[in-house]
Structure 1
Amino acid sequence: MSLAACNTTTKGGNSADGGCDYAITYFGALTGDAAALGVNAYNGAKLAVDQYNDKHKDACVTLNKVDSQSDPNQAPALATKVAQDKNVLGVVGPLFSGESKAADPVFNSAGVPLISASATNPHLSENGWKVFHRLLGNDDAQGPDVSKLIHDVAKAHKTFVIDDASEYGKGLADVVKKDLKSEVIGSDTITAGKTDFAGTVTKVVAAKPEAVFFGGYYPEGGLLAKQLRAAGYTGSFVVADGVKDPEYVKIAGDAAEGTLMTCPCVPGDQVKAFADAYKAKYDVDPGTYSPEAYDAANIFLAGIDAGKTDRASMNTFVSAYDGDGITKHLGFTKTGESKEIPIWGYQVKDGQIIPVKQLS
C-alpha cells in the first residue's frame, strides 16, 4: 500500500477513504491568517505517520486533516464530524487555544483522546476533560520566561503590553503583566484581523517603554512591529510562540530584526535525525510546533502498536505514557499537562529566527 493511500485530505475528517483500519486526525488551521503554524504541526504529524506506515505495510494508519482555520465558531461542528468517525482513535490538536476551548468539550463527550502540540492557555486543563493532553508548557509556565527574556536579554524594566484579545494572546499577556508587576507602564488591546494599529502605536510612543510585549499571532505581530518602528519606537519588541514563524519576518520586513521570542517548543535543529527527515520530505526546515506534533502523533502510534485500538484504552495509554520523544521525556500530569516543560528564547538575526538559549 502506498503512503498516499493512507492519508486523506477530506475537510470533515472521515477516514473511510484512507484504506487503513485506524486513524488519527490533525485538527487545526491549514488555511487562514495563522495557517503557517498549522502547516508546521500537520507536517510534523504526517512525517510520523508516514514513517510508521513505511514500517507497517500490512497495518497502516490513516492521518486525516481537518482545516479548522483556527476559528472557534467552526470548531464544534468540525469536532462533531471527527467524533462521528469511529476509526479515529485520537486527535493531534486542536492547534490554538480558542478553538480548543470550543472543540474540546465535544471530544471529551465522545471520548476522543487529544494531544495538543500548541494550545497554551492555562485554563484548558482546568475543565475536568478526561481526554485532554498538552505536549508543551502552558502560558503560566511561559509567562515568567517572557519576563526573564525582557530582563536578561532586552535589559528592560519598563514594558508596554499589547494583546489581540484572543484566548491565547490575552491569556499570555495577562500572565506577563502579573509577573512584571509595576514594570508594566501601559497596556492596550488590538483587534485580530485589523491592519491599522495607529492608536496603539501612539500610546506606545507616548509611554516611552524600553520593551513592548505582544501577545498574539504573527499576522498582527508583523504589522505592529513595522508600524512601531515607522513611528520611531527604538526599544525591544518581544513576542511568543504565536509569532514565531518566518511569515512574521516576511510581514515585518526590516522591522523584525532583533525581535525577541519565547516558545515552549524545542528548536527543530536540536534533533538532527528529525530535522534531516523533515527537510528531505518537505524541503524546508522544521517550524514551530513541528517537533511537538511529531511526538504527539508518535504517542498515538505507540498506542496502536500496543493494541490500544479503541478510544477508551487509547486514552488510558496516553494518560499514562512515559517515554522519550524527540523534544523531551514525554508524560502527562493528572490534568493532562506536560510533565517536562522546556522553554526557549529566540531572536531574529539577519532575517532568521535563531535560538538564543534555553530559559527553563
Structure 2
Amino acid sequence: MRFGRVLALAAATSLALAGCAGGGSSSSGDGSTLKIGFMGDLTGENSGIVIPPRNGAQLAIDEYNATNPKTKIELKPYDSQGKPDQATSLITTAIGSDKITALIGPAFSGESKAIGGQLEQNKIPSVSPSATNPGLAKNNWAYWHRVVANDDDQGPKIAEFLIKAKSPKTAFVLSDDQEYSVGLADAFEKTLKGAGVTVQRDKFPKDAPDYSSTVQKVKAANPDIITFGGYYAQGGPLLKQLRDGGVKAVFATGDGSLDPQLVSGAGAAAAEGAVIGCPCNIPDASTPSEFSTKYKQKFNVDPAIYATEGYDAATAIINAVKAGNTTGETINNFLKTADFKGVSKQIKFKANGEPETNAIYVYQVVSGAIKNLGASTEAKITG
C-alpha cells in the first residue's frame, strides 16, 4: 500500500514498548490466553482481499480453542484499512496496551514495511497471509514471515504466461503509486522487456479522480497486452474506462485485484476475459474440500482469496503454542523449524522469512465470474 508518514509517536514509544517485548498472556480459568493480533484492511476499499484471510485465521483459532488447550488464543483484530500510518498507530497500541504475543499480517505491503521495525524491536513474530512486495524480505527482519510467494515470483510468472498465450510484441504496464502496485508493475516490466517485448509505462495517483489521461496514452500506443499493478478498487474503474475508451487489449493483473469487485467495478462486459494471477489457489466451490466445507458452515460464504493462507498463517503460530511456546521469542524460534502440510501448500520458511513454495495460479473472468485456470505453467487462457 501507499507510504504513509510514520508517526513520530512510534519512535517516541519504541523504548517503552521494548519493556513489553514478546507480548503477554492473561489468566483464563485453569490456563491462560495469549493475544494474537490480525492486522489489515477490514472495512476499507480493499477489505475484500483481507476479510477472507481473517476468517481463515479465526477458523483455525476457534478449532484450536475448542480442544480446551492449556493455553488458549484470542485473535484480536486491528483494522488498518490498509493505511501505513494507521497501521503504525495501531501496532503501538497492540504491543503497548494489548500486549499481543504475535501478529497475523499485516495484510498489505506498505503497512508491513511501516511497522516491521517495531515488530522486530519488540520481538513480535509476524506471519503475513498476503503481503507480496519483494523488498519486505530484504530488511533483515528475524521476526517477519509470509506464506505467499512475492511479486518477484508473481509478476514474472504472470508475464511469462501472457507471453506464451498471446505472443505480444508490445505491452503497456500500468500502476498507481502504492507500494504493492509499483513493485508488481516493476516485475511485469522487467520480465516483458527481457523477453523482447516493447514496453510503455504509466503511473497515476491512488486517489486519481479518473484515468482519462492514462486511457489516452494506452489508446495511442495500441498495445497487444496491458498489465496492471494494483488493487481492485482502482483496477475495476480503470478497466471500465479503458474499454469505454475503445482499448481492447488483454488486461492482466495480480492478486490485489482477485475479487468479484474487479468485475462489478468494471462491469461484466468490460471485465470479460481479464486475466488475474495470484500466489493463492482458491478452493473450487464445485468440489468442496474439508476446509471449504468448514469455512462455509462458519461464515456462510465460500472461501475466497487468501482464506487458506490465513488459516495456515494462524496454524503456524498455533503449532508453536501447542509445543509450549508462549513468548514472542520462543514462538519465533519455533517458526524457524515449521514444516507442515497446510491447506494452501506445504508451510516452511526460508531463513529470511520467505515461503519455500512459490507457485502462481492464473484466473480469468469468464461469463462474468472469476474462474481458476490452474498453475501458471499449465493454465490455458480463454479467448
Distance in 2 (CA, whole Å) between partners of 1:288 and 1:129 is 26
Q: What amino acid maps onto 2:46 in structure 1? A: A
Question: Aligned in 2, Cα 1:250/1:105: closer, same or farther, shift over 3 Å?
Answer: same
Q: What amino acid maps onto 2:306 in structure 1? A: Y
Q: What amino acid maps onto 1:54 in structure 2? A: A
Distance in 2 (CA, whole Å) between partners of 1:148 and 1:178 is 11
Give 4+ residue runs of structure 1 displaced > 3 Å after superposition.
13-20
The Cα of 1:157 is off from its aligned counterpart by: 3.1
Partner residue, 1:353: 370
Q: What amino acid maps onto 1:265 in structure 2? A: C
1:197 aligns with 2:214: no
Distance in 1 (CA, whole Å) between partners of 2:173 and 2:191 is 12
Partner residue, 2:11: none
1:261 aligns with 2:273: no
Q: What amino acid maps onto 1:185 in structure 2? A: V
Question: Aligned in 2, Cα 1:220/1:18: closer, same or farther, shift over 3 Å?
Answer: farther
Equivalent residue in structure 2 for 1:56, among 47, 68, 73: 68
- Point out the more displaced range, 78-87 or 198-207: 78-87
Equivalent residue in structure 2 for 1:278, among 286, 291, 295: 295
Question: Aligned in 2, Cα 1:121/1:37: closer, same or farther, shift over 3 Å?
Answer: same
TM-score, with structure 2 as normaliser:
0.87
Partner residue, 2:184: 172
The Cα of 1:154 is off from its aligned counterpart by: 3.9
Partner residue, 1:241: 255
Partner residue, 2:141: 129
- Point out the more displaced range, 180-189 or 298-307: 180-189
- Point out the more displaced range, 85-94 or 215-224: 85-94
Distance in 1 (CA, whole Å) between partners of 2:27 and 2:192 is 52
Instruction: Structure 2: state its 5+ residue gaps.
Output: 1-22, 378-383
1:327 aligns with 2:344: yes
Residue-pair matches, total: 348
Are the aligned partners of 1:195 and 1:220 in contact in 2 as well (CA < 8 Å)?
Answer: no
Q: What amino acid maps onto 2:35 in structure 1? A: A
- Point out the more displaced range, 55-64 or 293-302: 55-64
Distance in 2 (CA, whole Å) between partners of 1:57 and 1:242 is 36
Partner residue, 2:34: 22
SS of 1:186's partner is: strand
1:287 aligns with 2:304: yes
Distance in 1 (CA, whole Å) between partners of 2:325 and 2:25 is 18
Distance in 2 (CA, whole Å) between partners of 1:303 and 1:86 is 20
Partner residue, 2:17: none
Equivalent residue in structure 2 for 1:92, among 86, 93, 104: 104
Distance in 2 (CA, whole Å) between partners of 1:14 and 1:244 is 36
Distance in 1 (CA, whole Å) between partners of 2:217 and 2:254 is 21
Instruction: Structure 1: state its 5+ residue gaps.
Output: 1-12
Distance in 2 (CA, whole Å) between partners of 1:38 and 1:22 is 22
TM-score, with structure 1 as normaliser:
0.92
Are the aligned partners of 2:154 and 2:277 in contact in 1 as well (CA < 8 Å)?
Answer: yes
Are the aligned partners of 2:25 and 2:33 in contact in 1 as well (CA < 8 Å)?
Answer: no
Equivalent residue in structure 1 for 2:265, among 226, 248, 251: 251
- Point out the more displaced range, 265-274 or 75-84: 265-274
The Cα of 1:109 is off from its aligned counterpart by: 0.6
Partner residue, 1:340: 357
The Cα of 1:15 is off from its aligned counterpart by: 8.4
Are the aligned partners of 2:120 and 2:141 in contact in 1 as well (CA < 8 Å)?
Answer: yes
Question: Aligned in 2, Cα 1:357/1:74: closer, same or farther, shift over 3 Å?
Answer: same
Question: Aligned in 2, Cα 1:192/1:171: closer, same or farther, shift over 3 Å?
Answer: same
- Point out the more displaced range, 217-226 or 34-43: 34-43
